Every structure is written in C-alpha cells, then in structure tokens.
Amino acid sequence: MIGGQSQLDITLWIKRFPGGQTSHGESLPTIVFPHAGGAAAAYRNFALALSAKGVDTFVVQYPQRGERLRDPAPDTVAELAAEMLTAVDWAHLGPLRLFGHCMGALVGFEFARLAAQRGIVVRELWASASQAPSTVADSRPAPTTDRELLADIADMGGTDARLLEDEDFLELLLPAVRADYHAFNRYTCDRSVRIDADIHAVGGTSDHRVDQELLRQWEFHTHGVFTFTQFDGGHFYIDDHLDDVADLVSCT
C-alpha cells in the first residue's frame, strides 16, 4: 500500500520503487527529479537505497529520453513541472517529499508551487547540487551547440568518457540535454518567491559548477526550515554517498 491507498495509477514513465515502514515510522513518498539531460535510469541505485530504508520512491522520466524519446520537450521548467504533476493523482499519496538534482531541483521547486495551488501538500524539497531559483537568470547561459554540449557534459562529470565517443549514444543524449538546457536558459524566479515546504540544500564540497554560495541561497525560497549539508565530492557527489544521502533524506 502507498499512503493508505491499495492502488495508484502510475504512468509507465514514472518508475516506482516501493518502500514500507521505516524504523522512524511511516516515511513520506518521495519523488526524484533527474538533472538536465538525465534519465530516470541514472537514479535507480539512489531509488533502491531509499526504498531499502522504507521510502516509497518515484523517479520521473523527462521527455526526449528512454521510453519518452519521441515525446516533445516542454519549453520551460514550469511546463515540465506541470507535466510531472498531472501525470499521477499525487494527492492520493498524502504529503510528499521531493528530491531534485541540479536542474531537477528547479523542476521540484516549480512542482511544489503548482502542487500548493491544487491542495497537494509537499513537506520537503531536497535541492541537490543546484543553484537557487533566483540566481539562474543572472548566471551564464547553458550551452546549446553540439560542441559546447559535449564539452559541458565532460566538464560536469557523471558520464563515462567512453560513451561520449559513441555516436549512437550521443545521438540519443544531446537532444535531451539541449532541450533541458533551453528550458533552463528561459527560467526566471524572483528572490521573494517562496514555498511552504522545508528546503534542504545538499552538495559536494568540490563541486566547481554549483558553489556553496549558490546552494545556500535556497534559504530565501522557503517559509519553512532550511538546512545545508555537504559531502565530499563534486557535482555528482551522490554517486559516492548513496547510502548516506538516502539515510539523510529518509530520516527527516
């Protein structure tokens, strides 16, 4: 059962990893939002780590990848969040927890804003390796040409260098990254915009893409509690700390 419901209509492009009762009591269902260009499969191990701790976990799949390869990409982050929100009757799950990595945290933030308008309760947003919403408009635009995208993906890390030399792989990867980067480049948010959910900013100590200052500014976007945690590692620190991050998320 999930949130007291025996059945829930889950679309095929949302991956569910069932949890259960934790040592801390019933845990909030958690939705995971991947990074720009990231597929749901990249978060399978993290979802399994959360599930093992009793957390019902749902990993969303954005358009232009996986089983949604031919689905058109929304133009904006807000439209992408709205698509995720309407895909499932999330209200049946009860209060939610959201976890977004990099651009995924912005999608989660917009998801929380839209959810509030529909009476869907979001208790917590985990913003992982992501700059705060109000900092995006003044930051350097994300690249969109093939050459720039390849250089940026290599710089970001998290992708096997051998795959970046595979033309078939790049034919699938680059359109997804480009679509997400276009949405990122269009994103704007005033510093005064806040959500009721607690916000927990998490990052890597050696992340050269999202430094501590950008991460800490998430504090301005919540009416609730704000926490800040760092782990050793870079932009994809989570890959080296799956169990520790899952423990952090599941225990709140």
- Residues 147-195: tens digit of each pLDDT: 999 888 888 876 766 777 778 888 888 999 999 999 999 999 999 999 9
65, 176 contact by CB (below 8 A): yes
Asked whether residue 7 carries a pLDDT value surpassing 80, the answer given is no
Token reading at 202:
């998490």
Token reading at 138:
């003044």
Q: What share of the chain is helix, strand, coil (3-state, %, to 5)?
A: 40, 20, 40
Task: Give the model's pLDDT for residue 26.
Answer: 61
139, 189 contact by CB (below 8 A): no
CA atoms within a 13 Å half-sphere pointing along the CA-CB vector of 148: 8
Confidence class for position 251, pLDDT limits 50, 70, 90: confident
Confidence class for position 64, pLDDT limits 50, 70, 90: very high
CA atoms within a 13 Å half-sphere pointing along the CA-CB vector of 104: 29
Distance CA 243, CA 138 (A): 35
CB-based burial, 158-174: b 16+ in 10 Å, e otherwise:
bbeeeeeeeeeebeebb
Token reading at 80:
């992408």
The lowest-confidence range among 1-5, 137-141, 192-196 is 1-5
* Averaged pLDDT, 18-35: 78
Confidence class for position 20, pLDDT limits 50, 70, 90: low
Task: Give the model's pLDDT for residue 19.
Answer: 87
Distance CA 240, CA 249 (A): 16
Give all domains of the chain, ordered by start, each with its CATH number.
14-250 (3.40.50.1820)
